[in-house]
Amino acid sequence: RAAKSSEDLDLTSVMNEALEQLALLLRQQSRSLKQSALECIDTLVLCLPESDIDMDEGLFDSVLKDLGEIIADTDLHICHLSLSASNSILKARPSTGALVKGHVLPASLELSKSALLQDPALTSLLNLLEQMVASGAIGFDELHKLLEAQMAGDGSK
């Protein structure tokens, strides 16, 4: 609730530790823990000041790797939350573009060819891909070619 409040709160002193602990929760088997951790990550990263030099950039690497690993069509709600958190990280820290491209994009491309993809998960995927292009993490032409390759490699579409 504090992170979503309209007052300016300085959470930078606890942000590294909070993201580290939330990343650990993403590795748990409990769906409810993952869901809560994803919602919290999504909210917390949007509270980051744009020029915060105290953030451990390696932490984003770990968090984005964990987010990429849970993007699958087996649980579209968790997938939606993971895509949304990845998008929020990219919005808050455009410098993470290469990390998002490396850790989240491969799973996102695989998800893009799923016949089960719909509703919030589809919207979150489109929002992430749009943000990746807008932030310069990937060029539109490169993304278009990757998406075409996904469809060409899937004989059912």
Task: Tell me the whole-structure pTM to 2 decimals.
Answer: 0.88
Give whole-number Cα distances, 122 to 51, 78, 88, 102, 103, in Å: 31, 12, 16, 20, 19
Label residue 140 by pLDDT band (50, 70, 90).
Answer: very high
Q: What is the pLDDT of residues 25-64, one digit of tens each?
A: 999 999 999 999 999 999 988 877 666 556 667 889 999 9
Q: How far is it, in rounded angstroms, from Cα 34 to Cα 120?
A: 17
Q: Half-sphere exposure (CA, 13 Å, Cβ side) for 71?
A: 32
pLDDT, tens only, 58-101 = 889 999 999 999 999 999 999 999 999 999 999 988 999 999 99
Amino acid letter, 54:
D
Q: Among 109, 67, 107, which Cα is nearest to 86's?
A: 67
Structure tokens at 75: 């649980």
pLDDT at 157: 42
| Torsion sign across C-alpha atoms 132, 133, 138, 141 | positive
pLDDT for the residue numbered 151: 87
Average the pLDDT over 128-133 and give the result: 97
CA distances 145 to 57, 68, 141, Å, are: 29, 20, 6
Residues in the chain: 157
Over range 128-150, report the average pLDDT. 96
User: Is it the case that residue 9 has pLDDT exceeding 70?
Assistant: no
Q: What number of other Cβ atoms are within 10 A of residue 47's Cβ?
A: 17
| Pure H helices in 93-135 | 97-103, 105-112, 119-135
pLDDT at 16: 83
pLDDT band at 10 (very low <50, low <70, confident <90, very high): low
